[in-house]
């Protein structure tokens, strides 16, 4: 036998993943450009390209459309998809559960609770509709959402540093979700119809709530935090073996679990604060990453989940405002139609994944 | 030299409610380069002892040392270079190939990002060859049979290059050929490669034949240790299996079921035919005794290479057959149709 021929993967497989990465990146770029070009007004790709390169084009309308709505939305979709895909992958590995996703930690429920405080309760208690104010309203919603998400994250971290298994964390996360939903239910019951409506709209999720500068800021943060997660790839590879095997291979399992929850929690919290709770992308994307790249190495999987997450979110953004539709569909309605079939097919042929 | 030492060790759990002691006062040594089997009935604390040795549980009292270092004071990273484990925990990593699994065994030696050097790759390859799983290296772990998965995990443990490998029931869930194969693999790793192994098992016969040393764990007793043969001479197994319907046959050195005998019958002859006939009759509660000429109903074993059995009544053959099954049913029929006391010589001592 020839040892030199055998590295971590057969050579052809490594070529395959490199090719796949290039193809994925190309696809994400294509989807990004399509997002800028397609909509109720179609803009020729050449014009789009000009706007991106030079910041403007002779067509003032085109410039406005791209710079004011489509570019921010595409940037937000790119960052949010990447963050959610990676967070979902990390949590599925941590909990060894193919149905885990960013929502299982109760973080998006915490964010919902925070937003409910601002949107539903403030109108009742102080007689002013915070969310109605143009700038401060947005900021209040974002801040409340972030506060709720991080609050739940702190609780989960505190609990998981005290209990031994990951299963307990999973159950506590889900229970936190139920608790916040029930509090939100009480708020809704006593709220004005208009406030409930704006709360429901927030809960449907959206990629186009941010202006261009804020979208760039959000995209930068999301991509940077996502990229940092590759440093967790070795601990995640070991965690996939099971806690005791991981410990026997030198992993400080409790500390690693905290880091994974912290990382995935931050990603989820940031996305939820700026886009609302985005369903299904975090659950479906890790499965797509494992299906296409056929590896268990989290270094590859994290990058793959990031790219596929961005691609999926951009695709959903395009679908949500297909030509012919008067206004854009809520993003969560689209993600469910894209994500649910993926999850169902994975569960049906579970043995192979 | 001893690779592992237990002194006055008390194992157990610290729970929220308090301390649950499993075993106490354990003293033992584990010589380097040997295969040691830890035997004991379910619930005696084998797994707890194993987990304490691996550092998963802290000793409640006393000391465990591996390669001269106190386990309780070592970090996970330090332990990972001293003890490698093969557990009963199911390993289900989506997409992972055997090679990827075995290469995880190099984690204690790789850096922050887990990048493998050429040494690591070569060591993992050697481990797969030694464990006999090289031919399956590109397959996914989930597609392997149970026996192959154990070999892959053993290869992972070998890749870890630790002075001691600890296995928790590596032969559980395997069929007999696979059990023997795994035991032979572990045996050869000890004999040929100088690996030290501590394993728990319920396969007594295999452990007696394959292990260099045994640790017998029994409730509320000190750990009994020694080579299988010395322990047999000391009759250490009798106490272990008292009241469990198993007896230790001192003629063969094997365990067998203790049958409740209600009848006995005289048999003339010996050899393999006799052994098989004795087994078949023992199942029905009929014990074989030597033929002394006085019994009316008896069995004569004839033939040199191929045995032939004759059921005799005095000097008359009732049946001559090469089939044990037919002979046994003839004996049962004959016993049923005869008044026992007269023909069978039944006395109280026949009932054990």
- What CATH code is carried by the domain that includes residue B203? 3.40.50.300
- Residue B251 belongs to some domain of the structure: no
Query: What local confidence, expressed as pLDDT, does residue A126 receive?
Result: 62
If DSSP codes are grouped into helix, strand and coil, which group holds residue B129?
helix
User: What is the least distance, in Å, from the CA of A170 to any CA of chain B?
Assistant: 19
Residues 278-317 of chain A whose Cβ lies under 8 A from any Cβ of chain B: 290, 293-297, 299
Indicate whether B32 pLDDT > 80: yes
Indicate whether A352 pLDDT > 60: no
- Residue B250 belongs to some domain of the structure: no
Bridge partners, B45 (sequence order): none
B96 shares contact with chain A (CB less than 8 Å)? yes
Residue B170 and residue B184 in contact, taking contact as beta carbons nearer than 8 Å? no
The percentage of chain B sitting over the pLDDT mark of 70, rounded to a whole number, equals: 93
**Between residues B238 and B119, which one has the greater pLDDT?**
B119
The percentage of chain A sitting over the pLDDT mark of 70, rounded to a whole number, equals: 90
- CA end-to-end span of chain B: 47
Using a CB-CB cut-off of 8 Å, the residues of chain A touching B160 are 249
Q: What is the pLDDT of residues A244-295, one digit of tens each?
A: 999 999 999 889 988 998 999 999 989 998 998 998 899 999 999 998 998 9
Q: Are residues B73 and B196 in the same domain?
A: yes
Question: In terms of CA atoms, which chain B residue is nearest residue A7?
Answer: B121
Indicate whether B228 pLDDT > 80: yes
Distance CA A61, CA A42 (A): 11
Helices assigned H by DSSP within B18-63: 46-54
Helices then strands, counting H and E runs in chain A, come out as: 16, 0
What's the whole-number mean pLDDT along residues B55-61?
92
Q: Which of B140, B161, B182 is the last residue of a domain?
A: B161
Q: Lowest-pLDDT range, A258-272, B46-60, B287-301, B320-334?
A: B287-301
Query: What local confidence, expressed as pLDDT, does residue A95 receive?
Result: 87
Q: Are residues B190 and B303 in the same domain?
A: no
pLDDT band at A50 (very low <50, low <70, confident <90, very high): confident
Q: Maximum CA pair distance of chain B?
A: 86
Q: Are residues B157 and B177 in the same domain?
A: no
Q: Are residues B204 and B58 in the same domain?
A: yes
Q: What is the pLDDT of residues B162-189, one digit of tens each?
A: 999 999 999 988 888 999 999 999 999 9
Q: What is the pLDDT of residues A52-102, one digit of tens each?
A: 888 777 788 888 888 888 999 999 999 999 999 999 999 999 988 888 888
What's the whole-number mean pLDDT along residues A145-164?
84
Give how many domains chain B has, as a whole number: 3
Q: What is the pLDDT of residues A179-206, one digit of tens each?
A: 988 999 998 888 888 888 888 888 888 8
Q: With CB atoms and an 8 Å threshold, state whether B114 touches A299.
A: yes
Q: Are residues B4 and B60 in the same domain?
A: yes
DSSP secondary structure string for all residues of A153-190: HHHHHHHHTTSS-HHHHHHHHHHHHHHHHHHHHHHHHT
Using a CB-CB cut-off of 8 Å, the residues of chain B touching A159 are none
Q: What is the pLDDT of residues B108-143, one digit of tens each?
A: 999 888 899 999 999 999 999 999 999 999 999 999
DSSP secondary structure string for all residues of A62-99: HHHIIIIIIHHHHHHHHHHHHHHHHHHHHHHHHHT-TT
Give residue B112's Cα distance to chain centre: 40
User: What residue ranges in B67-185 does DSSP mark as E strands?
Assistant: 69-70, 83-86, 164-168
Q: Are residues B279 and B220 in the same domain?
A: no
Whether this model's ipTM surpasses 0.95 comes out as no
- Residue B125 belongs to some domain of the structure: yes
Distance CA A16, CA B246 (A): 59
Indicate whether A1 pLDDT > 60: no
Both tokens assigned to B28: 């033992």
B59 shares contact with chain A (CB less than 8 Å)? no
Please state, in angstroms and as integers, the Cα–Cα distance from residue A348 to each residue in A98, A288, A344, B91, B346, following that order.
Answer: 12, 14, 6, 21, 66
pLDDT band at B239 (very low <50, low <70, confident <90, very high): confident
| R_g of chain A computed on alpha carbons | 21
Q: Are residues B169 and B75 in the same domain?
A: yes
Q: With CB atoms and an 8 Å threshold, state whether A6 touches B99.
A: yes
Query: What local confidence, expressed as pLDDT, does residue B339 receive?
Result: 62
pLDDT band at B81 (very low <50, low <70, confident <90, very high): very high
Question: In terms of CA atoms, which chain A residue is nearest residue B101?
Answer: A241
> How much of chain A is helix, strand and coil, in % rounded to 5?
80, 0, 20
Both tokens assigned to B281: 């009759």
Q: Which of B244, B277, B303 is the last residue of a domain?
A: B244
Query: What local confidence, expressed as pLDDT, does residue A216 receive?
Result: 94
Indicate whether B148 pLDDT > 70: yes
Would you tell me how many other CB atoms lie within 10 Å of the CB of residue B176?
A: 10
Q: Are residues B58 and B189 in the same domain?
A: yes
Indicate whether A2 pLDDT > 60: no
Architecture of domain A12-352: Orthogonal Bundle (1.10)
Q: Identify the DSSP state of A117.
A: I
What's the whole-number mean pLDDT along residues A110-139?
72
Please state, in angstroms and as integers, the Cα–Cα distance from residue A281 to each residue in A81, A150, A170, A306, B71, following that order.
Answer: 7, 21, 19, 11, 45
Q: What is the mean pLDDT of chain B?
A: 87
Would you tell me how many other CB atoms lie within 10 Å of the CB of residue B23?
A: 24
Q: What is the pLDDT of residues A10-45, one digit of tens each?
A: 567 778 888 999 999 999 999 999 998 887 788 888
Q: Are residues B115 and B209 in the same domain?
A: no
Q: What is the pLDDT of residues A307-345, one digit of tens each?
A: 999 999 999 999 988 766 667 788 988 998 888 888 888
Nearest CB partner across the interface for A244, out of B87, B94, B138: B87
Q: Are residues B40 and B181 in the same domain?
A: yes
Indicate whether A5 pLDDT > 60: no
Q: What is the mean pLDDT of chain A?
A: 85
B84 shares contact with chain A (CB less than 8 Å)? yes
Residue A301 and residue A89 in contact, taking contact as beta carbons nearer than 8 Å? yes
Please state, in angstroms and as integers, the Cα–Cα distance from residue B292 to each residue in A61, A352, B340, B345, following that order.
Answer: 118, 68, 18, 12
- Residue B105 belongs to some domain of the structure: yes
Distance CA A312, CA A274 (A): 18
Q: Are residues B298 and B341 in the same domain?
A: yes
Query: What local confidence, expressed as pLDDT, does residue B43 receive?
Result: 83
Host domain of residue B29 = 1-82+163-244
Q: With CB atoms and an 8 Å threshold, state whether A250 touches B79.
A: yes
Query: What local confidence, expressed as pLDDT, does residue A72 receive?
Result: 93
Both tokens assigned to A22: 């290039």
Q: With CB atoms and an 8 Å threshold, state whether B89 touches A244.
A: yes
B251 shares contact with chain A (CB less than 8 Å)? no
């Amino acid at each position: 036998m020839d040892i030199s021929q055998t590295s971590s993967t057969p050579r052809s497989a490594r070529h395959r993943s490199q090719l796949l990465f290039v193809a994925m990146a190309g696809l994400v770029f294509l989807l990004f450009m399509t997002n800028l070009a397609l909509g109720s007004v179609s803009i020729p790709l050449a014009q789009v390209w000009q706007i991106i390169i030079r910041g403007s084009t002779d067509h003032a309308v085109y410039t406005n459309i791209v710079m004011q709505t489509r570019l921010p939305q595409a940037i937000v979709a790119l960052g949010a998809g990447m963050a959610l895909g990676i967070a979902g992958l990390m949590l599925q590995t941590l909990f060894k559960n193919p149905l885990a996703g960013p929502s299982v930690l109760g973080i998006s429920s915490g964010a919902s609770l925070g937003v409910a405080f601002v949107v539903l309760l403030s109108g009742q208690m102080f007689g002013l509709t915070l969310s109605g104010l143009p700038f401060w309203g947005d900021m209040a919603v974002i801040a409340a959402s972030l506060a709720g998400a991080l609050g739940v994250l702190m609780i989960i971290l505190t609990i998981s540093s005290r209990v031994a298994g990951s299963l307990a964390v999973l159950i506590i996360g889900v229970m936190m979700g139920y608790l916040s939903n029930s509090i939100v239910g009480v708020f809704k019951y006593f709220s004005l119809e208009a406030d409930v409506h704006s709360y429901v709209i927030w809960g449907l999720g959206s990629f186009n709530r941010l202006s261009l500068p804020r979208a760039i800021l959000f995209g930068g943060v999301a991509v940077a935090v996502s990229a940092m997660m590759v440093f967790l790839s070795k601990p995640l590879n070991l965690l996939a073996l099971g806690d005791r095997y991981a410990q026997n291979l030198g992993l400080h399992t409790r500390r690693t679990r905290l880091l994974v929850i912290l990382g995935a929690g931050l990603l989820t919290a940031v996305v939820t604060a700026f886009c609302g709770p985005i369903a299904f992308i975090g659950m479906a994307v890790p499965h797509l990453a494992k299906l296409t790249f056929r590896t268990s190495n989290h270094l590859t999987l994290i990058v793959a989940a990031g790219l596929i997450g961005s691609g999926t979110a951009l695709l959903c953004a395009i679908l949500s405002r297909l030509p012919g539709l008067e206004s854009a569909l809520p993003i969560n309605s689209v993600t469910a139609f894209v994500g649910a079939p993926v999850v169902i097919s994975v569960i049906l042929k579970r043995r192979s994944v | 030299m001893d690779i592992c030492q237990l002194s006055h060790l008390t194992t157990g759990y610290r729970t929220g409610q308090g301390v649950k002691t499993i075993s106490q006062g354990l003293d033992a040594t584990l010589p380097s380069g040997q295969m040691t089997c830890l035997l004991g009935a379910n619930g005696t604390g084998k797994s707890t002892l194993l987990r304490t040795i691996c550092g998963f549980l802290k000793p409640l009292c006393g000391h465990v040392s591996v390669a001269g270092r106190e386990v309780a004071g070592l970090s996970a990273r330090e332990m990972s270079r001293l003890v490698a484990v093969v557990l009963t925990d199911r390993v289900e990593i989506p997409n992972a190939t055997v090679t990827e699994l075995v290469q995880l065994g190099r984690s204690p030696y790789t850096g922050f990002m887990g990048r493998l050097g050429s040494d690591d790759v070569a060591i993992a390859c050697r481990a797969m060859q030694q464990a006999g799983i090289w031919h399956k290296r590109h397959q996914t772990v989930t597609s392997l049979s149970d026996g192959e998965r154990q070999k892959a995990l053993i290869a992972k443990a070998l890749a870890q290059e630790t002075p001691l490998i600890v296995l928790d029931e590596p032969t559980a869930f395997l069929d007999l050929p696979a059990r023997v194969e795994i035991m032979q693999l572990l045996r050869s790793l000890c004999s040929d490669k100088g690996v030290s192994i501590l394993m728990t098992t319920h396969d007594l016969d295999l452990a007696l034949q394959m292990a260099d040393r045994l640790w017998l764990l029994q409730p509320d007793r000190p750990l009994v240790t020694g080579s299988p043969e010395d322990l047999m001479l000391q009759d250490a197994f009798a106490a272990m299996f008292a009241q469990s319907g198993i007896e230790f046959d001192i003629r063969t050195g094997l365990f067998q079921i203790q049958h409740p005998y209600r009848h006995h019958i005289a048999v003339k002859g010996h050899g393999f035919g006799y052994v098989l006939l004795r087994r078949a009759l023992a199942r029905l509660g009929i014990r074989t005794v030597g033929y002394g000429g006085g019994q009316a109903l008896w069995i004569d074993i004839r033939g040199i290479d191929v045995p032939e059995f004759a059921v005799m009544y005095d000097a008359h053959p009732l049946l001559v057959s090469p089939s044990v099954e037919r002979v046994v049913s003839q004996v049962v029929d004959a016993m049923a149709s005869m008044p026992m006391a007269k023909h069978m010589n039944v006395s109280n001592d026949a009932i054990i």
